[in-house]
Structure 1
Amino acid sequence: MAAGTEPSPPSIRHLRMFLILGRTGSATRTAELCHVSQPAVTQAMAKLSRQTGHALFLRNPHGLFLTEAGEVLHHRAARAIARLDQVMSEMARQIRFQATWPQLAALVAVSEAESFTLAAHRLGLAQPTVHRATTTLEQAAGTVFFQRTAHGLITTRAGLQLAQAARLALAELEQARADLGNLEGREVGRIVIGALPLSRSGWLPRAILAFRRQRPALPLQIIDGRYDELLLGLRRGDIDLMLGALRLPSPIDDIHQERLFDDEAAVVARRGHPLAARAGLTFEDLRGFPWVMPRRSTPLRAVLDAALADNPPLDVVETSSVSLLREILRDSDYLGGLSRMQAEVEAETLSILPVALENARRAIGVTTRADWEPTRAQRDFLNQLRQTAAGMS
């Protein structure tokens, strides 16, 4: 929702008219329900058609009917407006008719930055403009979105809920752009993938290359990060799907996890490490060696901690970076914990030690929002991920 080059979304007011017109097929009835003139409805629909680049209605003696493009936009717009209305229903009625995307963008930016000044910088606007936008929105809602405390600016529950609804509504309209482009055979939009460490070792690169043979022009954005960071981006609508180790049970009920294959944890060391050729290796033999381990919040770390519970190492370097682990192990006698898939990619540098870890298998797959409806391109990429995973299991 930061300032950028993407087309501005159609106004909320025009989308509401469009939804009613799509249901009634009558400009007269739509004007009555929206408390505007019939020419106002006609002008709004003409502007919406120009913005989308598609004819949205066909006229016949029985009224107005949605075109194929109109059906696509109607479905996505209904989902977007429903997200807003679910939150706005607990606020003053005026906000449904007065809220604008720039006001909601200001709300989102301030709630994330916890500062009007930082939000203004992010949006490329003057600070008074951002403050005025959120104040106008508060007045229409009849509630307060921000409170000043001794520790700074805090977003209220109402503000957080509306900001989240606005993010997901805009994500839905961005998907509408992609769906409409697909009708003309054009690649519009992009796919944003949150990649946990394991997914970057083989599975995701292979899927990307296969997908590129089908769709060579669609932008793909890969975001590396920790699970909690990527999960936040996914739930906000900034990320379309997240790949890697699943969390079982699910940490929250608004996501969907699809298991595609299993991997297992492994203990690794540099090639030529004193333990690499030892027969009958046990965890007792690992006592006293320093370790490079993933963060405590990861499934792999839980497996390693359980295995080393009787002899916990004193020297531990925590990192989620495979490259950093590799470089530390390359020049030392440190041991490390990796998934077997990651370790096999690093076979020129690292050896998998022959020690058995209990409960070492982990479910690997795709995490999406529970109510996510992918575009055609997103669905194609998801299917490619499934096919690639099937070939690896």
Structure 2
Amino acid sequence: MQPSIRHLRMFHTLAMTHSVTRTAELCHVSQPAVTQAMNKLERDAGQPLFRRSSQGIFPTPAGEAMSRRAARALAYLDAAMADMARAVRFQATRPQLAALIAVTEYENFTLAARQLGLAQPTVHRSASMLEQSAGVQLFERTAHGLIATRLARQLAQAARLAFAEMDQAEAELAALAGREAGRIVIGALPLSRSSLLPAAMLRFRELRPGLPIEVVDGRYDELLSALRRGEIDFLIGALRDPAPVGDVEQERLLDDQVALVARPGHPALSLPEPTLADLAQYPWVVSPPGTPIRAAVEDLLPEERITGAIVTSSLILMRETLRKSDHLGALSRLQALAEAEAGSMDILPLDVPESCRPIGITTRSGWEPTAVQRQFIDLLRDEAERLT
């Protein structure tokens, strides 16, 4: 299902007014246009969205789910369109908004067209028509290319979130029809990949063997941006204190500490009570600046040891570097325990003071998960409780 913005607006208005006549008036279309649009939406949904009675037209349970998502999607768009001509609310199309997103991201019509799989003139025409109906400038043409205006960036972000809402609507309607649709997209920070997330995924796979799960790895700032754009459903990993931006929410699942690790047989492991001075004699592999583990290690080691360290966010690279040398490293304790169980690393018997940090889930503020997404998050909560 990929309903047009105009059809979505008609649908939500009809769900609120229960009248084709009133919907036609409010949406500035004919009554037959409303009827045809609703018939198309029901065909695409594969199930009735309205029930007709002498008292009016009322949404079915599937229609109520669709209306709730439509209201959220339109709220994003209307807020971004507040400073634009009113016509854009009824004239903007999904292809035009998709073109806006791509051009805003790539700042080039040719690259945007390639990303969308369309001809460059098609994308240019879509962006121009959207700009015309909005009555405001969306792009500034410079010698270095296109620069999206503030209003363009706001509308592109709103369109991303509106599209995400409609993807969730499709999944909810499929569930009501006894089918599965959509997928779960998770932004995974390093800790979650070693214990918490795999266990939850395996349990979820037993419950829903056919639903796709996509795990996206990356740096925290990259995953946070993707979350805010609606490209991933939630993040799992170390929480930030305070939350990095005001439009996300964090839920603590458990606490973890930093552990110092070495290859099996490392000379430091033979010391009965190794000290920080002992460990500072060896080369190190450390996390990138700005990460909680890096902050903990910086408090432990001399500056010159940090300066000369190998910096990586890759567990595989750390594991192989430690395995083939006398380098030392730092991981979350849950990660370190998983590596130790696999025999690839040993944990050094030295506590890292003040390294306790909360691990949990980060979502967009106001995000409303589908039943399937909520089920997955409940499994994460269960696994976190088991680990504590």
Q: Give the TM-score of the pair, scaled to structure 2.
A: 0.97
* Letter paired with 1:390: E
- Further displaced range: 116-125 or 46-55: 46-55
**Rounded Cα–Cα distance in structure 1 between residues aligned with 2:28 and 2:132:** 21
Residue in structure 2 matching 1:13, options 6, 30, 47: 6
**Rounded Cα–Cα distance in structure 2 between residues aligned with 1:313 and 1:110:** 41
Point out where structure 2 has 5 or more consecutive residues left out of the alignment.
none
Does residue 351 (structure 1) correspond to residue 346 (structure 2)? The answer is yes
Does residue 173 (structure 1) correspond to residue 166 (structure 2)? The answer is yes
SS at match of 1:266: strand
CA offset at residue 309 of structure 1?
4.5
Q: Which residue of 2 aligns with 1:141?
A: 134
* Letter paired with 1:24: T
Q: Which residue of 1 aligns with 2:215?
A: 222
Conservation of the 8 A alpha-carbon contact between 1:288 and 1:313: no
Counterpart mapping for 1:302-321 below 5 A: 302-309=295-302, 312-321=305-314
Conservation of the 8 A alpha-carbon contact between 2:280 and 2:302: no
Does residue 58 (structure 1) correspond to residue 51 (structure 2)? The answer is yes
Does residue 233 (structure 1) correspond to residue 221 (structure 2)? The answer is no
SS at match of 1:307: coil
* Letter paired with 1:19: H
* Letter paired with 2:319: R
**Rounded Cα–Cα distance in structure 2 between residues aligned with 1:59 and 1:307:** 70
Counterpart mapping for 1:188-267 below 5 A: 188-267=181-260
Q: Which residue of 2 aligns with 1:383?
A: 378
SS at match of 2:331: strand
**Rounded Cα–Cα distance in structure 2 between residues aligned with 1:172 and 1:126:** 27
- For this pair of structures, how many residues does the alignment match? 386
Q: Which residue of 1 aligns with 2:64?
A: 71
* Letter paired with 1:96: R
SS at match of 2:354: coil
**Rounded Cα–Cα distance in structure 1 between residues aligned with 2:100 and 2:75:** 18
**Rounded Cα–Cα distance in structure 2 between residues aligned with 1:93 and 1:125:** 28
Q: Which residue of 2 aligns with 1:323?
A: 316
**Rounded Cα–Cα distance in structure 2 between residues aligned with 1:93 and 1:241:** 34
- Further displaced range: 352-361 or 202-211: 352-361
Conservation of the 8 A alpha-carbon contact between 1:11 and 1:101: yes
**Rounded Cα–Cα distance in structure 1 between residues aligned with 2:307 and 2:264:** 23
Q: Which residue of 2 aligns with 1:131?
A: 124
**Rounded Cα–Cα distance in structure 1 between residues aligned with 2:126 and 2:304:** 58
SS at match of 2:293: helix
**Rounded Cα–Cα distance in structure 2 between residues aligned with 1:383 and 1:75:** 23
**Rounded Cα–Cα distance in structure 1 between residues aligned with 2:79 and 2:129:** 20
Conservation of the 8 A alpha-carbon contact between 2:7 and 2:37: yes
Q: Which residue of 1 aligns with 2:28?
A: 35
CA 1:274–1:162 in 2, change beyond 3 Å: closer, same or farther? same
**Rounded Cα–Cα distance in structure 2 between residues aligned with 1:218 and 1:337:** 35
Q: Give the TM-score of the pair, scaled to structure 1.
A: 0.96
Q: Which residue of 2 aligns with 1:340?
A: 333
* 1:302-360 Cα deviation digits (max 9, x unpaired): 01101124664452111111111010011111111111111111111211112221211
Q: Which residue of 2 aligns with 1:392?
A: 387
Q: Which residue of 1 aligns with 2:79?
A: 86
**Rounded Cα–Cα distance in structure 1 between residues aligned with 2:326 and 2:351:** 20
**Rounded Cα–Cα distance in structure 1 between residues aligned with 2:299 and 2:74:** 48
Q: Which residue of 1 aligns with 2:157?
A: 164
Residue in structure 1 matching 2:40, options 35, 39, 47: 47
SS at match of 2:215: strand
Does residue 362 (structure 1) correspond to residue 362 (structure 2)? The answer is no
Point out where structure 1 has 5 or more consecutive residues left out of the alignment.
1-6
**Rounded Cα–Cα distance in structure 2 between residues aligned with 1:23 and 1:315:** 64
CA 1:152–1:37 in 2, change beyond 3 Å: closer, same or farther? closer
**Rounded Cα–Cα distance in structure 2 between residues aligned with 1:196 and 1:287:** 27
SS at match of 1:153: strand
CA offset at residue 148 of structure 1?
2.4
SS at match of 1:302: helix
SS at match of 1:161: helix
Conservation of the 8 A alpha-carbon contact between 2:298 and 2:306: no
**Rounded Cα–Cα distance in structure 1 between residues aligned with 2:302 and 2:131:** 53
SS at match of 2:267: coil
CA 1:314–1:59 in 2, change beyond 3 Å: closer, same or farther? closer
